[in-house]
Amino acid sequence: MAPDYDDDDEKKGELGEGADAKFKEFDCPSCNANNPCDPPFGDGDELLCNYCGQDYKVKVSEEGRVKLKEL
Ligand SMILES: [Zn+2]
């Protein structure tokens, strides 16, 4: 059976809420590739696009929206 910590919220692929939200995937702003992430990432993490190799710094807003800043 699946653990029940993943309650079906309005957005898929997210764990947690607001600025503490964690995400299991992201869409690269440079090449639009979808990158799955394991373990999930959150505010302050750094991401690497597996397709174009661009690095990003993650910022999660209080609304739980991801912003990626190119490094
Ligand atoms: Zn990319």
How does DSSP classify residue 71?
-
Ligand 1: distance of its center to the CA of 4 in Å?
Answer: 32
What is the CB neighbour count within 10 angstroms for residue 64? Answer: 19
- Determine the 3-state secondary structure of 47 from DSSP: strand
How does DSSP classify residue 19?
G
Of 39, 40, 36, whose CA–CA distance to 49 is shortest?
Answer: 36
For every one of its 71 residues, what pLDDT tens digit does the chain have, with 9 covering 90 and above? 545 554 444 455 568 999 999 999 999 999 999 999 999 999 999 999 999 999 999 999 999 999 999 99
Please give the backbone phi and psi of residue 39, each rounded to the nearest 5 degrees, phi first: -75, 165
Q: Which two tokens stand for residue 41?
A: 């990432």
- State the pTM of this model: 0.76
How does DSSP classify residue 37?
E
Ligand 1: distance of its center to the CA of 36 in Å?
Answer: 12
Ligand 1: distance of its center to the CA of 19 in Å?
Answer: 24
Ligand 1: distance of its center to the CA of 31 in Å?
Answer: 4
